A = this chain, B = another copy of it.
Amino acid sequence: MTNKVKIAIDAMGGDKSPKKVIEGIKISLKSNLENFFYLYGDENLLKKEVSKNKLLAQHCEIINANNVILDHESPLAAAKRGKDTSMWKTIESLKEKKAHISLSAGNTGALLVISRLLLNTIEGINKPALAALWPNKNDMSIVLDLGANIECDEKNLTDFACMGSALFKSLFQIRKPKIALLNVGLEEIKGNNILKKTSTILKNNSEKNFEFCGYIEGNHIMDGNTDVIVTDGFTGNIALKTAEGTANFITENLKISLSNVSKLLSYMSLKKFKKKLDPRKYNGAIFLGLESPVVKSHGGTDSIGFAHSIDVCNKIVRADLIQKIKSNLITVDA
C-alpha cells in the first residue's frame, strides 16, 4: 500500500448513498489505481456491494458505523450525537493519520463542525475556509470562503488568499496563480477597511507565491482572468447561491421556451452546452486550513460527480497541499 493515496470516505452521506459512492469509486478505478479507500458506514450493506467486484474489493477496506448524520440535522445536534456515525468516523481517521484525506457527500454544516472539533488547524491559521471550483471562460477558478466564516478580518482574508493559491497550484500545476479580492468596484477607495488592509498586505507580498491583481467585481468572476477569488464567507455564500439560482432560472426558462420540435433539433447542441457546463465537473468543495484536507461532494451529485471529487482528493494529496499552504503563509501583524 506504499505510495497509495489513502482516502477516507463517508459512504453513507448524500442522496442515493452508498450506491453512488461505490459506483463513483468504480469509475475512478478505471483511470486511476493508485487510490486506496476506507469506507465508513453500514458494514453489511457495504460488504455486499464491494464483494461484487474484485478490483473494488482490492482497493477498499470497510469500517462499520451504525449511524448516519441526516441532511437536515443541525450541525451542533449532529456533532453531539455524532460519534458512531459514518461522517464522524471518516474525519476521525484523519486525526489518527490512517488516511491522507477525507470525502463526504453529507450535511455540509455538520461536516465543518465535526472537522473543526476533531482536527487541529494548520499553525498560523485560525479560521479554515470552504473553497470550491467555479467555471469560467477558460477553465475554472477557485473561490473562497463560501460560508465557513461569516465575519473575517484582514488576517483571515490573507490566509484565504494563501490557501486558495496553494490549492490552485495543487490542482492545476500553475506556479503563480492570479489572485483577486471580491469587491464592489475596482478603485482603491472601494469597499470597507478590511478589504483595503487586505489589499495592501497582498500587494506587499505579491510576486512570491502568487500574482495579486487587485479587486474583482461579481460580473467578472467568470471572465477567466483570475485564478483565485477571495472573499468573506457571507459574501461568498451569497455570490455562489445567487449564481446557482440565476443559472437554474435561465435554463428553466430556456426549457419552457423551446418548442418540442426545436427541442429535438437542438438536443445535440444543447448536449454540447451541458457537457461544457456540467456541474459534476466542478463537484467538490474543499475545507482548507486544517491539518488534513476535508473534501465535500455535493449531496445531490451522481456517481460521475463523486468520481470527480475522488480525482480532486488524489490531486490534493499528490501535490502535498498542506505543505504548500504552510510554505505559502504570510505573517500578518495583529
A: residues with CB less than 8 A from B are 74, 135-137, 147, 150-151, 182, 184, 187, 191-192, 217-223, 231, 233-235, 237-254, 257-259, 261-262, 265-266, 268-270, 272-273, 276-277
Contact = CB atoms under 8 A, between A and B. Distances in A.
Count of this chain's copies in the oligomeric assembly: 2
23 contacts: A137-B252, A184-B238, A191-B234, A218-B237, A218-B238, A218-B244, A218-B245, A219-B242, A220-B245, A222-B245, A238-B239, A239-B239, A243-B245, A246-B246, A246-B250, A253-B273, A257-B269, A257-B276, A259-B268, A262-B262, A262-B265, A262-B266, A266-B266
A259 B269 contact: yes
Contacts of A257: 269-270, 272-273, 276
Nearest to A249: B222
Contacts of A273: 253-254, 257-258
A261 to B, nearest CB: 8
Given A221-B245, A243-B245, 20 more contacts: A147-B184, A184-B233, A217-B238, A217-B241, A219-B241, A220-B245, A222-B248, A222-B249, A223-B245, A231-B238, A238-B238, A243-B246, A246-B250, A253-B276, A254-B254, A257-B270, A257-B272, A258-B273, A261-B265, A262-B269
Contacts of A241: 217-219
A192 B266 contact: no
A155 to B, nearest CB: 18
Given A184-B147, A250-B250, A242 B244 contact: no
Given A147-B184, A254-B273, A248 B219 contact: yes
A262 B264 CA distance: 10
